[in-house]
Structure 1
């Protein structure tokens, strides 16, 4: 069985983190996890320490990309075979990790937990950006990604090392598109996601629009100028 690390980036998730990690510890003890507290201003880190959760406590807010990369550096340095991102708000359901691992073991480099692989994507204003990003990825790579904005993504060892050592790699659709263009095998597995039960998402409508525009521009233009390092070996350290 592949040695998996669940990376949980967390920013101001005091209302959710205990439930999310508690569920993993109780029902999925076969998987290791680490909470990456991204400079939260609430009690997220204090709750993790009090409950004895495995924690990386960043002193300042680096944003999702920085917190995610911190988790993947930890996975790379400690010899994990693969790593998956689960959001700290509880929307990502760990019961889908097993079928995603199967897809990874079947030859994928990256597996996306997709809401829309077998379920039709709604034609709403909220989903407009997802349609645009899917179109941009297909235009530049020839590959159809049904749910490009899903944050539930599983990475094999090679991808873990690449994300860990390249500074311009964030857990975003433009990076996925860039890797597809450079030969990475990306597959999707149908999942269901829950709704946030507590706290507030940092993504307001205005920020969502900004995000979609930024991703589309990056996929269509900027990714052609990115540099990729796959040659530098990543050092392994035992736990």
Structure 2
């Protein structure tokens, strides 16, 4: 078996106006995963996000305007594919994800194609809002019906992908609220997906853009996207 510690690792951080947290996030990653490269997708920020990320040693790709989490992450996966990375990890720019948990993801990616850092697969100290918890329970049930597999933290943005998934996500990644649909997409491609318990913090700076009204829109939109994705016929490989 290939030693995962010797493989090229990239941490992708989509960031929009996160100047107050991005520096600490990058430092945290280098403290716990010194062999990983850090790529910040500066998603049309109007503050000093890009400047601060560069100062702390990260590679920075700046989008010409705000393309959203989906477009930003697909850009990161395309960069990972082009530059020969074996593992790509998605992390938030707001400090919610703890870099000390990265070794757990690196260990589990040896046996799986995608590993999701979960707040709920086992009990953690994380306390979610009522609306977020309702959404989590709903999407857990939806994916169990659609995929026949239980995922406890479908909206987690703390994920590790191997080369197979890097290539798939470089080719296609959902644009709007992509986390749930991206799981369905991979399962339709025959990927092995697992969750691992990870501690997470509350947002360290700024505030979430998801309001109660947006939460309702999010649930409806993602539900329709999941159903449509699951309904697409699976690709059948032609014999050589």
Q: TM-score, normalised by structure 1?
A: 0.87
Cα distance in 2 for partners of 1:52, 1:183 equals 36
CA RMSD of aligned residues (A): 2.5
Count of aligned positions: 230
Matches within 5 A, 1:34-73: 34-73=39-78
Cα distance in 1 for partners of 2:185, 2:173 equals 14
Q: Does 1:225 align with 2:229?
A: no
For 1:143, the equivalent position in structure 2 comes to: 149
CA deviation after TM superposition for structure 1 residue 85, in Å = 0.4
Cα distance in 2 for partners of 1:98, 1:223 equals 32
Against the structure 1 CA distance between its residues 225 and 46, is the aligned structure 2 distance closer, same or farther, given a 3 Å change threshold? Answer: same
Secondary structure in 2 matching 1:5 = strand
Q: Deviations over 1:191-217 (max 9, x none)?
A: 110111211222222222211221122
Against the structure 1 CA distance between its residues 228 and 58, is the aligned structure 2 distance closer, same or farther, given a 3 Å change threshold? Answer: farther
Cα distance in 2 for partners of 1:212, 1:11 equals 23
Which of 65-74 and 177-186 deviates more? 177-186
Cα distance in 2 for partners of 1:179, 1:74 equals 19
Cα distance in 1 for partners of 2:122, 2:173 equals 34
Secondary structure in 1 matching 2:71 = helix
Cα pair 1:162 1:229 within 8 Å, conserved: no
CA deviation after TM superposition for structure 1 residue 27, in Å = 4.0
Equivalent of residue 163 in structure 2, options 157, 164, 170: 157
Q: TM-score, normalised by structure 2?
A: 0.87
Equivalent of residue 117 in structure 1, options 114, 121, 141: 121
Q: Deviations over 1:60-79 (max 9, x none)?
A: 11100011111111100000
List runs of 5+ in structure 2 lacking aligned partners. Answer: none
Q: Deviations over 1:78-132 (max 9, x none)?
A: 0000101010001011111111111110x21110000001128979343111111
Cα pair 2:131 2:212 within 8 Å, conserved: no
Cα pair 2:165 2:186 within 8 Å, conserved: no
For 1:84, the equivalent position in structure 2 comes to: 89
